[in-house]
Structure 1
Amino acid sequence: MTGTPAFPGSAAASRRTLVPLALAQFICSFAGSNMNVMINDISEDLNTTVKGVQTTITLFLLIMAILMIPGSKLTDRWGRKRCFLAGLILYGAGALLSTFSPGLGVLILGNSVLEGVGTALLIPPVYILATLAFSDLPSRARAFGVISGLGGIGAAAGPLIGGLITTAISWRAAFVFQTMVVVTIIFLSRRIVDPVAPDPTRPFDTAGAVLSAVGMFFVVFGILQASNDLVLTAVLVAIGAAFLVWFLLHIRSRERAGKEPLLSTGLFRNRTSNLGLVTQNIQWLLLMGTSFVVAVFLQTVRGYNAIETGVIFTAATLGVLFSSLAAERLARRHSQKALILTGFIMTLAGIVLLLALVKVSPGAVAFAPGLLLIGLGLGVMLTPSVNIVQSSFPERLQGEISGLSRSVSNLGSSFGTAIAGTILVSGLATGNRSYVLAMTALAVLALIGLAAATRLPAVTGRR
């Protein structure tokens, strides 16, 4: 069934719009995970450490998260297509700069800062334009399924593609690949039409943007310091929490004064959406956390190179691909709640397998069953979680909820790399024990996600 497009033109035009949007989500998710298999190569080439590369990856994910909400608000002032293209240009410039990095500082500037800011500008328009392009729920759900599915595939396939490129050419060539994909997306985006004219007079809550960004930065940065100083971690997280409380008080004050805040407090009054956001956050936390922990363990403990590590992740990639392709059929037969519950159960089972089999087998095959289950589980629940959140609000709030949704997801990605990665590289344990501690932490978080999913309403998935 073809949905009715909200854009002027045919349904085929809407589908052509979907291609660059989905590719954009793919490459941004790819960027978050492909560096995991390059850790040894980058460390040796740039004379840095695993911790240095972890910081680069986490900062990229964090900058995405802290700027996603401001980025979504700027779409109203600057226009959705303009923000999308500006984000792509910034992202491409960052990837190109990363290609020629002489040291860790330039890599952080290109990969973490420029690519992070570019992603924060381009991702909110992806979901807003998809919402506007497909006006009826079935076609919109399919569009979200394609976009979220490619996002999951990008994150899961990042280690495989990155490993292939790194081994065949160099880790720097992986950034050339990103640049080429971005150029392709810009070319495919030339026919995208923004159906809503930008409003340059739309107010922008600068103070709110600064408060929210500073708060989230200190929380994640504090977690990264846990392996060095727990007291410093507590202080930084407390500072971050204080800024976030200040942010909430600020936006409530603006609303009482009749001014437009960065984020409407009304977005948090929808119980279904709140639970959906929790599941989104934990899903991406598990995906990125597992990817980082397994990749680092294989390279630093088992001695695998980039391509060997990437090939092992094929199981997760196939799992996400298979379940994403089946997403539409599953959504017709099962409720969104059932799919999310099933996804968490499968993911938790996969983590348990990764913990159990690593002790009994030194071979790479021990990782395949667990990664396959995690890929299947995450692929099953990524789309329902996005659909639950986006469909909980009317079109006039799609810009805000899109920014909040993407920010929460990317914050989950940064938490995954920060929390699990910090446990892995800390002095708490070494070798297999550090791996077990990190994966156990992910299992506990998966249980929290499962608990949140049980509280979702039994919304039918039949359209």
Structure 2
Amino acid sequence: MQTAAKRRVLAALALAQFICSFAGSNMNVMINDISKDLDTTVQGVQVAITVFLLVMAALMIPGGKLTERYGRKRCFLAGLVVYAVGALLSAAAPGLGVLILGNSILEGVGTALLIPPVYILATLLYTEVTSRARAFGVIMALGGVGAAAGPLIGGLITSAISWRAAFVFQALVIAVIVFLSRRMSDPLPRDPGASFDVFGAVLSAVGLVLVVMGILAADNNIWLMLGLLALGALVLAWFFHSIRAKEAAGGDPLLRRDMFRNRTSNLGLVTQNIQWLMLMGSSFTAATYLQVVRGYDAIQTGVIFTAATLGLLITSLAAERMAKRRSQRLLITSGFVAGVAGIVVLIVMAYAFKSAWAFVPGLLLIGLGLGVMLTPSVNVVQSSFPEEQQGEISGLSRSVSNLGSSFGTAIAGTILVSGLTKGAYAAAMSTLALMGFVGLIAATRLPREPVTAPVQAPPRTTPQPRT
């Protein structure tokens, strides 16, 4: 593929990651507007946000597997169409139920279909470590900016027009992505005969949904929470048992166990999960606190979050240069140190000052830290597997990241909405800082030397003859 064509494809992939990340955070500044317009509560909006992130996490692995059977481009375009329908339905939602159907379900399903091809195509098109770091840097930069700038853009649109217009904006961006993708080619032929483990897909999705819903139930009924968590754990155990049984019978399960036998990749997945947990958890907590407790409107809250966006832009766009000079382990550990420090600053400054500008230093540190480590974490995981396994690892990687986003919003949000006070805010943020420390420990165990991709195996299907 020529350079100009590669740039168009990269622009489409990066914009796709941007809009999906934007969808996960822009509603944080619409909490008051949506709850009043749809006659719901802060907790109702939290459920809509969390379910969107959860649907992405639960279906990302099946989405990655479907790329083998139907092709990466076809899944990418199908995901864009489903996402656009969900966005337009959300814009016209008369109540919370329709909003959850459009935003949480349809946009979540669309994202699960379109995001795995983003990382598979980037991995296949950019084979060198440096060029791949550059591509991932652009994609993750726009993804991080989408998540961090979501409150600002969402606040501007909400204040100028309506929260509904923010969903129309998403549909318009999808139209641009479809236009840029019109000449996209698939580097590998699809395999129509590739098997798909429907039973495994159902078990994994149900198990993850039960676990996250258990966390959301914590502030209502402790026994319901424990019951849902236990049931979710049992379903996930059943899922892994089905994987083992299917492999023993010579079948092709949804996710092979050897995907978890690479120590470097496992550590990278842990860091990915906690990065997004910190970003989405701190975003929801700070935005909700500023609006509900401090009384700031959508645009004021969004402007404050510009600090996180700026931090992400600065470090994400420097990903290629940093990858040449510093090890991936150093970048990821440095990112966690900055991120945890930012959360601590957010706690201290909220107690010391009444002005919303006191949130700026902490948000800037979080943005800088996450921008430093997002790209190397993805590169560590994707580069640990050969070409033929990119569908599986891409789905697993994105599922783990989105599960982190779900956990961040569910855990921190549940603690916060239980009290909506300074104490609840500090408790939610402290939990995120503790999780960040766990991510830091995992990052220190990564290898010192950069991860290099193994020798690529040939495609499993016979290349088509030229015409």
User: TM-score, with normalisation over the residues of structure 1?
Assistant: 0.97
In 2, the alpha carbon distance for the partners of 1:250 and 1:462 equals 32
CA deviation vs aligned residue, 1:390-425 (integer Å, no higher than 9, x gap): 000111111100000000000000000000000001
Is residue 331–residue 462 contact of structure 1 (8 Å, CA) maintained in 2? no
Shift of 1:10: 1.3
More displaced 10-residue stretch of structure 1: 142-151 or 402-411: 142-151
1:181 paired with 2:135, answer no
* Structure 2 stretches lacking a partner, 5+ long: 454-467
SS of aligned partner of 1:36: helix
CA deviation vs aligned residue, 1:34-78 (integer Å, no higher than 9, x gap): 000000000000000000000000000000000000011111111
In 2, the alpha carbon distance for the partners of 1:459 and 1:221 equals 40
Is residue 383–residue 451 contact of structure 2 (8 Å, CA) maintained in 1? no
More displaced 10-residue stretch of structure 1: 387-396 or 11-20: 11-20
In 2, the alpha carbon distance for the partners of 1:215 and 1:176 equals 33
Is residue 130–residue 320 contact of structure 2 (8 Å, CA) maintained in 1? no
Q: Which residue of structure 2 lines up, in the alignment, with residue 348 of structure 1?
A: 340
In 1, the alpha carbon distance for the partners of 2:4 and 2:172 equals 25
Q: Which residue of structure 2 lines up, in the alignment, with residue 117 of structure 1?
A: 109
Is residue 334–residue 460 contact of structure 1 (8 Å, CA) maintained in 2? no
1:33 paired with 2:38, answer no
In 1, the alpha carbon distance for the partners of 2:151 and 2:85 equals 22
Q: Which residue of structure 2 lines up, in the alignment, with residue 457 of structure 1?
A: 447
* Structure 1 stretches lacking a partner, 5+ long: 1-8
SS of aligned partner of 1:201: coil
Q: Which residue of structure 1 lines up, in the alignment, with residue 410 of structure 2?
A: 418
More displaced 10-residue stretch of structure 1: 137-146 or 439-448: 137-146
1:214 to 203, 206, 216: 206
In 2, the alpha carbon distance for the partners of 1:436 and 1:419 equals 13
1:74 paired with 2:66, answer yes
In 1, the alpha carbon distance for the partners of 2:398 and 2:176 equals 23
Q: Which residue of structure 2 lines up, in the alignment, with residue 444 of structure 1?
A: 434
Shift of 1:461: 8.0
Superposed counterparts of 1:171-250, under 5 Å: 171-250=163-242
Q: Which residue of structure 1 lines up, in the alignment, with residue 100 of structure 2?
A: 108
Shift of 1:430: 4.1
Amino acid of the structure 2 residue aligned with 1:226: A
Amino acid of the structure 2 residue aligned with 1:96: L
Is residue 293–residue 435 contact of structure 1 (8 Å, CA) maintained in 2? yes
Q: Which residue of structure 1 lines up, in the alignment, with residue 383 of structure 2?
A: 391
Amino acid of the structure 1 residue aligned with 2:286: V
Is residue 331–residue 461 contact of structure 1 (8 Å, CA) maintained in 2? no
More displaced 10-residue stretch of structure 1: 285-294 or 190-199: 190-199
Superposed counterparts of 1:270-419, under 5 Å: 270-419=262-411
Q: Which residue of structure 2 lines up, in the alignment, with residue 49 of structure 1?
A: 41
In 2, the alpha carbon distance for the partners of 1:218 and 1:62 equals 10
In 2, the alpha carbon distance for the partners of 1:343 and 1:148 equals 14
1:12 paired with 2:12, answer no
User: TM-score, with normalisation over the residues of structure 2?
Assistant: 0.96
SS of aligned partner of 1:338: helix
Amino acid of the structure 2 residue aligned with 1:49: T
In 1, the alpha carbon distance for the partners of 2:3 and 2:243 equals 39
Amino acid of the structure 2 residue aligned with 1:78: Y
SS of aligned partner of 1:366: helix
Shift of 1:140: 1.4
2:138 to 139, 143, 146: 146
Is residue 95–residue 175 contact of structure 1 (8 Å, CA) maintained in 2? yes
- Detail structure 1 runs of 4+ shifted over 6 Å in the superposition: none
- Alignment root-mean-square deviation, CA: 1.1
CA deviation vs aligned residue, 1:295-332 (integer Å, no higher than 9, x gap): 00000000000000000000000000001111111111
In 2, the alpha carbon distance for the partners of 1:27 and 1:345 equals 28
In 2, the alpha carbon distance for the partners of 1:140 and 1:42 equals 40
Q: Percent identity at matched positions?
A: 69
Is residue 333–residue 461 contact of structure 1 (8 Å, CA) maintained in 2? no
In 2, the alpha carbon distance for the partners of 1:430 and 1:199 equals 52
Is residue 48–residue 104 contact of structure 2 (8 Å, CA) maintained in 1? yes
Is residue 85–residue 186 contact of structure 1 (8 Å, CA) maintained in 2? yes
Is residue 133–residue 323 contact of structure 2 (8 Å, CA) maintained in 1? no
In 2, the alpha carbon distance for the partners of 1:120 and 1:179 equals 17
Q: Which residue of structure 1 lines up, in the alignment, with residue 126 of structure 2?
A: 134
Amino acid of the structure 2 residue aligned with 1:298: L
In 2, the alpha carbon distance for the partners of 1:430 and 1:80 equals 44
